[in-house]
Amino acid sequence: MFKYFEPNKIFAITSKAPKYVLFLFIVVLTVGLTEALILSPEDYKQSDAVRIMYVHVPAAWISLGIFASLGLLSIGSFIFKNKNFALIAKSLAPSGFTFNIIALVTGSIWGKPTWGTWWAWDARITSMLILALFYGMYLLAWRIYENKDQVIKITSLIAILGSINVPIIKFSVDWWNTLHQPASINILSTNTAIHSSMLVPLGIMTAAFALFSLLIFLMKYNTELIKLKNKGLDRL
């Protein structure tokens, strides 16, 4: 099955896709920003400060999703000994790290008007900070180690260990008494604490952020493939 996803075969698609994804991202982001900043209503308690949710929540979701993917790809890399898994994971990490930082910074900005503080050593916030450290270690390891087999083993180990933190982040608001509010949306049930007038912009912004991470992934993946081909030319 993996032979269909070999870099040599999919480069024709991955090299042309970024321009279409970029166009779609700009369209979806424009609609999302209009909804988030102008059309969606203010909250009865938080007033307009609630609009920060439209960048904070999608960024947090996607950074968690990407790290979970890094963990799964790393396990796949160990089991199937397929180096393409490591290449995909390496290409996903920069956007995941950026979304993690965005979630932390926008969360801090949101914290000031709602909780009266920029930062609290609360279970959810601290576990998100730990995730940023794992992302940092993962990206740094790719830069530090030059031996290909060694770097794949080390980065996979970091991703698998860091993945343990993903469910901790998710359930931290239920397991501990935290300043951070519990989850308002449950994808496994129709029970959501958010009104559709806020849920729709949140969904659009999440789609825009997902498109952006896809765009960066494709660009990064193509760069990595060309890097490999550069080394191939040296060996000719």
Partner 1 sequence: MINEIISMNGYGAYVWSAFSFTLISFTALYFVTKLQFSKEQKRFASKFGSLNVEKIRAARSQKINREILSNTSNI
Tell me the site size for partner 1, rule CB under 8 A. Answer: 48
Task: For the chain, report the end-to-end CA distance as a whole number of angstroms.
Answer: 29
> Taking CB under 8 A as the rule, does residue 223 contact partner 1?
yes
CB of 227 to partner 1, least distance (A): 6
> Taking CB under 8 A as the rule, does residue 1 contact partner 1?
no
> Taking CB under 8 A as the rule, does residue 76 contact partner 1?
no
> Taking CB under 8 A as the rule, does residue 236 contact partner 1?
yes
**φ, ψ (nearest 5 deg) of residue 57:** -65, -50
> Taking CB under 8 A as the rule, does residue 52 contact partner 1?
yes
> Taking CB under 8 A as the rule, does residue 22 contact partner 1?
yes
On whether the CB atoms of residues 170 and 22 are closer than 8 A, the answer is: no
CB of 135 to partner 1, least distance (A): 13
> Which one of the spans 40-48, 129-137, 146-154, 195-203 is the region binding partner 1 (CB under 8 A)?
40-48
Residue 19 or 195: which CB sits closer to partner 1? 19
Region 90-119 residues binding partner 1, contact defined as CB under 8 A:
94-95, 98, 101-102, 105-106, 109-110, 112-113
**What is the SS3 assignment for 204?**
helix
Residue 5 or 175: which CB sits closer to partner 1? 5
**What is the SS3 assignment for 186?**
coil
CB of 120 to partner 1, least distance (A): 16
> Taking CB under 8 A as the rule, does residue 31 contact partner 1?
no
CB environment 105-142: b (16+ within 10 A), e (fewer): ebbeebbeebeeeeebebbbbbbbeebbebbebbbebb
CA dist., res. 141 & res. 93, Å (int) = 12
In the chain the beta strands, taken as DSSP E runs, fall at none
3-state secondary structure 84-151: HHHHHHHHHHHHHHHHHHHHHHHHHHHHHHHHCCCCCCCHHHHHHHHHHHHHHHHHHHHHHCCCHHHH
> Taking CB under 8 A as the rule, does residue 86 contact partner 1?
no
Which of 110, 96, 11 minimizes the C-alpha distance to 55?
A: 110
Footprint on this chain of partner 1 (rule: CB under 8 A): 7-8, 11-12, 15-16, 18-19, 22, 33, 37-38, 42, 47-49, 51-52, 55-56, 59, 94-95, 98, 101-102, 105-106, 109-110, 112-113, 212, 215-216, 219-220, 222-223, 225-227, 229-230, 232-234, 236
